[in-house]
Amino acid sequence: MAFLQEKLFLFCLVTLNTFLLPVSSRGPVYRPPPVEKLTERFPRIPFTQGMSTLFGASNVHYKNNGSYADIILDKTSGSGLISKSKYYHGFFSAAIKLPSGFTSGVVLAFYMSNADVFPHNHDEIDFELLGYAKRRQWVLQTNMYGNGSVRTGREEKVYLWFDPTQEFHQYTILWNKHHIVFLVDNIPIREVIHNQAVSSVYPSKPMSLYATIWDASEWATNGGKYPVNYKYAPFVGSLGELEIAGCSMQKTNSTRACLKNATVPSRMDPVDGEEYAKLSKQQMTGLNWVRSKHMYYSYCKDTKRYKVMPPECNV
């Protein structure tokens, strides 16, 4: 009898481990469903080829012939990278490993923007990884602005289903005329569909790609309630597996050259095909899994903030 009980226990343990992943701060969570690995469709390039130092040069360290880069926040400065070209539509991805330990007030952002060229009506597509104090875990926030719609934040926040400080994980932006998709390890976590309700604020102008780390104590911790504690500095964000596959405005010098019009499909847009027009069944399963199990804030649910919801929330 004892032998049978032991065998049953081992069977249950193996079965449980097949479907669960341990996460140090929040206990086990279910493994995400399988999805297409879009990051395997595009070539990886060195950071030294695709990006330049934006600020904090002494806190930007390139490794492995530029294939990897560390961006660092310490008492002297944060740091950041910017793409050498501006892009219209495309696939933009990097593997990121976040600083561990007490990271309250630290923000690492991987995003696209053209605020330098259009300061009053810029576009932006954001991954913002927010260091938090109470649970010592990171939170992922996504956001989108179009044509200067910065007064209407479109934030959504999710808890990650893994410890982002232990290994590299892929953060990806897919942007075309059909939709914007935010993906983590190829799993869609958010989709912004380009329809009539959102068309006026849908990003429409070429953007640069950025990766930055900075002190966001005032913005990210309730007005500085839990500021960055530099006793734990330096805060090192490690980047790798850079993929930039977009229509470069530097080469074409024309937005129209990147667009697909009614009669002539553009060969320059790497995400113009039918396979990028909508999410597959697998990808929809992954998206629903994230949003049902891991999302804890959406601007479309924030009735205290918005007396009148943005029009896309009512679609």
Asked whether residue 197 is assigned to any structural domain, the reply reads yes
Instruction: Specify the DSSP class assigned to residue 281.
Output: H
What is the residue-wise DSSP string for 126-165? Answer: EEEEEE-SSS--EEEEEEEE-TT-TTS---EEEE-SS-TT
More confident residue, 102 or 112: 112
More confident residue, 59 or 149: 59
pLDDT band at 21 (very low <50, low <70, confident <90, very high): very low
Asked whether residue 33 is assigned to any structural domain, the reply reads no
**Stretch 60-70: mean pLDDT:** 98
Asked whether residue 277 is assigned to any structural domain, the reply reads yes
pLDDT band at 6 (very low <50, low <70, confident <90, very high): very low
What percent of the chain is modeled with pLDDT above 70? 82
More confident residue, 223 or 190: 190
| Residue 116 token pair | 């330098």
Active site residue: 6, 36, 40, 128, which one? 128
Does pLDDT of 24 surpass 60? no
Active site residue: 6, 36, 40, 124, which one? 124
Asked whether residue 221 is assigned to any structural domain, the reply reads yes
Cα distances (angstroms) measured from residue 263 to each of 2, 89, 266, 291: 74, 19, 10, 38
Q: What is the CATH number of the domain that holds 235?
A: 2.60.120.200
What pLDDT shows up at residue 177? 94
Asked whether residue 11 is assigned to any structural domain, the reply reads no
Least confidently predicted of 42-56, 117-131, 205-219, 247-261? 247-261
What pLDDT shows up at residue 2? 45
The 10s digit of each residue's pLDDT in 186-204 is 999 999 999 999 999 999 9
Per-residue b or e along 233-249, where b marks 16 or more CB atoms closer than 10 Å to that residue's CB = bebbbbbbbbbbbbbbb
Please confirm, yes or no, whether 124 is among the known catalytic residues: yes
More confident residue, 22 or 145: 145
**Stretch 226-231: mean pLDDT:** 91
Percentages helix, strand, coil for the chain, rounded to the nearest 5?
25, 35, 40
Asked whether residue 100 is assigned to any structural domain, the reply reads yes
What pLDDT shows up at residue 218? 78
Least confidently predicted of 111-125, 155-169, 213-227? 213-227
Does pLDDT of 271 surpass 90? yes
What pLDDT shows up at residue 135? 59
What pLDDT shows up at residue 314? 87
pLDDT band at 212 (very low <50, low <70, confident <90, very high): very high
Least confidently predicted of 12-16, 35-39, 202-206, 243-247? 12-16
Please classify residue 134 by burial: count the beta carbons closer than 10 Å to its beta carbon, then call 0-12 exposed, 13-18 middle and 19+ buried.
Answer: exposed
Asked whether residue 90 is assigned to any structural domain, the reply reads yes
Cα distances (angstroms) measured from residue 131 to each of 108, 154, 183, 219, 231: 8, 20, 20, 12, 15
Write out 61-130 in H/E/C secondary structure.
Answer: EEEHHHCEEEEEECCCCCEEEEECCCEEEEEEEEEEECCCCCCCCEEEEEEEECCCCCCCCCCEEEEEEE
What pLDDT shows up at residue 112? 98
Does pLDDT of 91 surpass 70? yes
Mean pLDDT for the chain overall: 86
Residue with tokens 């005329």: 177
What pLDDT shows up at residue 12? 43
Structural domain of residue 274, as residue ranges?
Answer: 42-302
Does pLDDT of 300 surpass 50? yes
Asked whether residue 184 is assigned to any structural domain, the reply reads yes
Rounded CA-CA distance 124/122 in Å is 7
The 10s digit of each residue's pLDDT in 137-157 is 899 999 999 988 887 889 999
Question: How many domains does the chain contain in total?
Answer: 1
For residue 116, which amino acid is it? Answer: D
